[in-house]
């Protein structure tokens, strides 16, 4: 990470020393599309991050430079309006911090980083976290870590237009080195599980595709889950979300629920069960079983929830006969981005070569491979 280069660029341009923030992306070991159903997820922050340099501007003027994109956004406080593309992550955060009653002042910012965009590693939550946390630090604002995560989510809902769950923002804020976060998306409370298997590595394989329907399909899946809940509520008024639904309950109403909705709901109910089981596996050190759950999760996402794609399926399929791979599945919203794999450390290089060559032959694209470490969440650079 070019932290020093960023600091120098900022100093050269704005003639003042910045506060430097590292804001990581996230992986999710298991628990996909469960967060907006008030279920469970098991993410962690990773060592791919957005870095932001910040300082007060001394007026209402805000000026944000996105170095990689070579674009600059300028706006004035207190009235922030929607902008275009990446600007909305920043503007949205500023807007919702103000709505929370934060006494924000104008600022200068420069953004850099190494999270590949659209790869399912949540560069968007990292950008939101960099600004919510960064501005909170810069102006000493009284906002709790949970509120920071929620501000990021609100920005995404209302400025960007994706009705995402809370997992990505939460992992960005609460990440802890060598630990996964088992988050209960209903209570918004978490427990940390140590994730330290010295013989294994988390390997991400990037399909290098991001199919256009990703965000519309995401919102559609959310609506389908809500439809299932609405039907079930007629028989079980206590049901508030799919979190309250069991396989047996769904089964009892198989005739009342349209088949497509039934299949979506069943996936979510099963995936929640898998996350709980995965937590037990971690506590027992049973990585083999953990890996089987990852494969089962992928099958559900592919066949029941239908958010995978040919490229993701192929990357997972390639691992099935590889002894060094404990588990693999698509990760994040779907329709492209990365698969997450648990791979024996001695075979990472072989695995990487195999994936790159085989995938390239089929799709004429070179997949990028990252070996990820679980790190701390967003923080100030000392
Ligand atoms: C995206 C969203 C998350 C979550 C995942 C799917 O990353 O931002 O809230 O819903 O998809 O698990």
Instruction: Decide if 160 contacts 88 (C-beta within 8 A).
Output: yes
Domain with CATH 3.30.230.10 in the chain: 3-194
Rg of the chain taking only CA atoms, in angstroms:
21
Q: Is the pLDDT of residue 340 over 90?
A: yes
> What size, in residues, is the chain?
382
Hey, what CATH class is 200-372 in? alpha beta
CATH of domain 3-194: 3.30.230.10
> Dihedral (C-alpha) 146, 147, 153, 158: value to the nearest 10 degrees?
170
What integer pLDDT is reported at residue 316 of this predicted model? Answer: 98
State which ligand 1 atom lies nearest to the alpha carbon of 41.
12
Mean pLDDT of the chain: 96
Q: Residue 215 — pLDDT band, cuts 50, 70, 90?
A: confident
> Residue with structure tokens 């922030």?
80
| pLDDT tens by residue, 227-284 | 999 999 999 999 999 999 999 999 999 999 999 999 999 999 999 999 999 999 999 9
In three state form, how does the secondary structure of the chain look? CCHHHHHHHHHHHHCCCCEEEEEEEEEECCCCCCHHHCCEECEEEEEEEEEEEEEECCCCEEEEEECCCCEEEEEECCCCCCCCCCHHHHHHHHHHHHHCCCCCCCEEEEEEECCCCCCCCCHHHHHHHHHHHHHHHHCCCCCCHHHHHHHHHHHHHHHHCCCCCCHHHHHHHHCECCEEEEEECCCCEEEEEECCCCCEEEEEEEEEEECCCHHHHHHHHHHHHHHHHHHHHCCCCCCCCHHHCCHHHHHHCCCCCCHHHHHHHHHHHHHHHHHHHHHHHHHHCCHHHHHHHHHHHHHHHHHHCCCCCHHHHHHHHHHCCCCCEEEEEECCCCCEEEEEEEEEHHHHHHHHHHHHHHHHHHHCCCCEEEEECEECCCEECC
Q: Which of 45, 165, 340 has most ligand 1 atoms within 8 Å of its beta carbon, as the pocket-test mutant?
A: 165
Cα(334) to centroid(ligand 1), Å: 9
Establish whether residue 121 lines the binding site of ligand 1, counting it when its CB lies within 6 angstroms of any ligand atom. Answer: no
What integer pLDDT is reported at residue 212 of this predicted model? Answer: 73
Of 60, 168, 199, 382, the active-site residue reads: 168
Instruction: Decide if 297 contacts 32 (C-beta within 8 A).
Output: yes
What integer pLDDT is reported at residue 143 of this predicted model? Answer: 96
Judge whether 168 counts as a catalytic residue.
Answer: yes
Establish whether residue 33 lines the binding site of ligand 1, counting it when its CB lies within 6 angstroms of any ligand atom. Answer: yes
Domain with CATH 3.30.70.890 in the chain: 200-372
Cα(164) to centroid(ligand 1), Å: 6
| pLDDT tens by residue, 42-97 | 999 999 999 999 999 999 999 999 999 999 999 999 989 999 999 999 999 999 99
What integer pLDDT is reported at residue 290 of this predicted model? Answer: 98
Cα(59) to centroid(ligand 1), Å: 36
State which ligand 1 atom lies nearest to the alpha carbon of 34.
12
Q: Is the pLDDT of residue 100 over 90?
A: yes
Smallest CA separation from ligand 1 atom 11, residue: 333
Q: How far apart are CA 200 and CA 373, in angstroms?
A: 11
Which residues sit opposite 23 in a β-bridge?
Answer: 50
Establish whether residue 156 lines the binding site of ligand 1, counting it when its CB lies within 6 angstroms of any ligand atom. Answer: no
Establish whether residue 165 lines the binding site of ligand 1, counting it when its CB lies within 6 angstroms of any ligand atom. Answer: yes
Establish whether residue 164 lines the binding site of ligand 1, counting it when its CB lies within 6 angstroms of any ligand atom. Answer: yes
Q: Is the pLDDT of residue 162 over 90?
A: no
Q: What is the pTM of this model?
A: 0.97
Establish whether residue 332 lines the binding site of ligand 1, counting it when its CB lies within 6 angstroms of any ligand atom. Answer: yes
Q: Which of 333, 336, 337 has most ligand 1 atoms within 8 Å of its beta carbon, as the pocket-test mutant?
A: 333
Q: Residue 2 — pLDDT band, cuts 50, 70, 90?
A: confident
Cα(36) to centroid(ligand 1), Å: 8
Cα(166) to centroid(ligand 1), Å: 8
Instruction: Decide if 159 contacts 89 (C-beta within 8 A).
Output: yes
């Amino acid at each position: 990470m070019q932290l020093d280069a960023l600091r120098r660029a900022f100093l050269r341009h704005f003639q003042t020393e910045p506060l430097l923030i590292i804001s990581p992306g996230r992986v999710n070991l298991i628990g996909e599309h469960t967060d907006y159903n008030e279920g469970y997820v098991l993410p962690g922050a990773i060592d791919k991050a957005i870095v932001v340099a910040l300082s007060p501007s001394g007026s209402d003027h805000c000026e944000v430079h996105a170095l990689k994109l070579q674009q600059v956004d300028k706006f004035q406080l207190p009235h922030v309006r929607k902008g275009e593309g990446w600007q909305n992550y920043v503007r949205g955060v500023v807007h919702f911090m103000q709505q929370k009653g934060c006494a924000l002042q104008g600022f200068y910012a420069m953004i850099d980083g190494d999270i590949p965009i659209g790869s399912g590693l949540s560069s968007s939550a990292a950008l939101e976290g960099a600004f919510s946390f960064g501005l909170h630090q810069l102006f000493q604002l009284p906002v709790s870590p949970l509120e920071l995560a929620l501000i990021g989510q609100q920005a995404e809902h209302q400025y960007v237009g994706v009705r995402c769950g809370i997992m990505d923002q939460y992992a960005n804020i609460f990440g802890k080195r060598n630990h996964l976060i088992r988050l209960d998306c209903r209570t918004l409370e978490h427990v940390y599980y140590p994730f330290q298997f010295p013989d294994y590595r988390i390997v991400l394989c990037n399909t290098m595709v991001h199919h256009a329907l990703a965000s519309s399909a995401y919102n559609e899946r959310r609506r389908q889950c809500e439809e299932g809940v609405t039907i079930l509520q007629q028989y079980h008024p206590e049901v508030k979300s799919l979190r309250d639904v069991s396989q047996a309950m769904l089964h009892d109403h198989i005739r009342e629920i349209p088949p497509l909705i039934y299949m979506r709901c069943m996936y979510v109910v099963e995936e929640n069960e898998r996350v709980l089981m995965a937590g037990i596996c971690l506590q027992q050190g049973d990585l083999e079983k953990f890996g089987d759950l990852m494969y089962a999760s992928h099958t559900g996402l592919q066949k029941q929830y239908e958010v995978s794609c040919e490229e993701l399926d192929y990357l997972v399929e390639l691992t099935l006969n590889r002894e060094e791979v404990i588990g693999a599945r698509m990760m994040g919203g779907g329709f492209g981005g990365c698969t997450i794999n648990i791979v024996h450390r001695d075979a990472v290089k072989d695995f990487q070569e195999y994936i790159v060559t085989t995938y390239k032959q089929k799709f004429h694209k070179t997949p990028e491979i990252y070996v990820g470490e679980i790190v701390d969440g967003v923080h100030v650079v000392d």
